[in-house]
């Protein structure tokens, strides 16, 4: 099989947005016709089936009145996780046998307290919270997800960054035997992401170990991932094994792959188009109509001050 490198493959090629939504809309229309012909008993059964799965809980952060949690089925079956394949349903299919115990997290770099933690020891000092956040993908689709985790700042304070620490670099597990997508050359492995230190210390930046009140499913980045709600989803690195505090801006994976399309900052900005599609609107998974994209994904009041004076077109 011919493997194309990242320069030759684009997210839009993986699942055409138009094709995907035309198909969903056709199915929805067909379903509506079928529902209209159902008896009241059948309609009750259909409603019960749609309500299956865990119930969202937690404190909503930055949500709009019309933001409803995306159903469990979509959150756990429509994923970008190239370590398990480039299709949206590949991770759910290919990550089922992925083992996440034991799991070690290295914290090092410019800190006074470097350490190698077992996952349980890494999580133990922190009080886990349920938080409902918006999630926006650079491919112009979005979700509302009830994560479970703690503010990354808590862990960073425990490590005691030195004055030389300006950025935080994150690294995903490198193990092609357990992560079959790493056997391809679609990206340079392991996956690496980074944040400026003030971004990492912001209370909204979440270290995640669960969703919908449950431990993270493998396809969602088990056992430990990042979520930065005002940035595009590729910043929210999954299956983290190393957190390193560094002096210079980390060279993140997608910037290496296609720097003209994926910058370091990746702040959600409806005024800056992706080179191949508009970012002015987004498609909420499970909804029929598009909605306007909000600056900083709706978190501008909390985070915009960190970028005062910056050219957000240049620092995309």
Half-sphere exposure of 55 (CA within 13 A, CB side): 1
Give alpha helix (H) positions in the chain: 11-14, 17-36, 40-50, 72-75, 90-94, 119-123, 152-159, 197-201, 253-257, 300-303
User: Residue 52 has what pLDDT?
Assistant: 59
Residue 186: phi and psi, rounded to 5, are -60, -30
**Residue with tokens 């300006």, as numbered in its chain:** 166
Q: Is the pLDDT of residue 11 over 90?
A: no
Strands 141-151 and 281-284: parallel
Q: What's the burial of 203, exposed, middle or buried (CB within 10 Å: 0-12/13-18/19+)?
A: exposed
Specify the CATH architecture of the domain 56-307: Alpha-Beta Complex (3.90)
| Collapsed DSSP state (helix, strand, coil) of residue 220 | helix
Q: Is the pLDDT of residue 126 over 70?
A: yes
Query: Quick one: what percent of the chain has pLDDT higher than 90?
Result: 83
Q: Which residue has the higher pLDDT, 232 or 46?
A: 232
Distance CA 75, CA 201 (A): 26
**Residue with tokens 């969602």, as numbered in its chain:** 220
Average pLDDT over residues 302-307: 98
Q: Which residue has the higher pLDDT, 204 or 48?
A: 204
Q: Is the pLDDT of residue 49 over 60?
A: no
Mean pLDDT across the chain = 88
User: Residue 13 has what pLDDT?
Assistant: 45
Q: Is the pLDDT of residue 295 over 60?
A: yes
Q: Is the pLDDT of residue 242 over 80?
A: yes
pTM metric for this prediction: 0.85
Q: What is the pLDDT of residues 50-70, one digit of tens each?
A: 445 899 999 999 999 999 999
**Nearest to 188, CA basis, from 259, 87, 98:** 259
Q: What is the pLDDT of residues 150-188, one digit of tens each?
A: 999 999 999 999 999 999 999 999 999 999 999 999 999
Q: Which residue has the higher pLDDT, 19 or 268?
A: 268
Contacts of 45 (CB under 8 A, 6+ apart): none
User: Residue 53 has what pLDDT?
Assistant: 81
SS3 of 49-100: the string is HHCCCCCCCCEECCCCCCCCCCCHHHHCCCCCCHHHCCCCCHHHHHCCCCCC
Q: Is the CB of residue 239 less than 8 Å from the CB of residue 221?
A: yes
């Amino acid at each position: 099989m011919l493997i194309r490198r990242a320069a030759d493959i684009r997210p839009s090629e993986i699942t055409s947005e138009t094709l995907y939504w035309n198909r969903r809309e056709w199915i929805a229309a067909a379903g509506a016709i079928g529902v209209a012909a159902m008896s009241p008993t059948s309609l009750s059964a259909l409603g019960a089936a749609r309500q299956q799965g865990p119930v969202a809980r937690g404190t909503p952060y930055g949500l709009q009145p019309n933001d409803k949690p995306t159903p469990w089925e979509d959150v756990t079956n429509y994923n970008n996780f190239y370590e398990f394949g480039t299709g949206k349903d590949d991770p759910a299919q290919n990550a089922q046998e992925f083992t996440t115990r034991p799991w070690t997290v290295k914290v090092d770099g410019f800190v006074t307290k470097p350490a190698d933690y077992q996952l349980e020891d890494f999580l133990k000092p922190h009080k886990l919270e349920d938080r409902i956040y918006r999630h926006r993908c650079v491919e112009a689709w979005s979700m509302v997800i009830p994560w479970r985790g703690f503010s990354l700042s808590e862990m960073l304070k425990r490590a005691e960054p030195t004055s030389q620490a300006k950025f935080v670099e994150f690294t995903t597990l490198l193990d092609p035997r357990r992560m079959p997508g790493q056997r391809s050359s679609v990206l340079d492995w392991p996956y690496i992401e980074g944040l400026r230190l003030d971004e990492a210390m912001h209370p909204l930046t979440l270290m995640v170990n669960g969703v919908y009140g449950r431990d993270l499913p493998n396809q969602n980045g088990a056992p430990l991932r990042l979520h930065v709600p005002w940035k595009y989803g590729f910043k929210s690195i999954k299956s983290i094994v190393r957190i390193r505090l560094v002096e210079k801006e980390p060279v993140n994976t997608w910037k290496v792959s296609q720097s003209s399309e994926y910058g370091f900052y990746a702040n959600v900005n409806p005024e800056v188009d992706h080179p191949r599609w508009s970012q002015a609107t987004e498609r909420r998974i499970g909804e029929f109509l598009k909605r306007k994209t909000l600056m900083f994904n709706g978190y501008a009041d909390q985070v915009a001050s960190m970028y005062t004076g910056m050219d957000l077109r240049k620092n995309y």
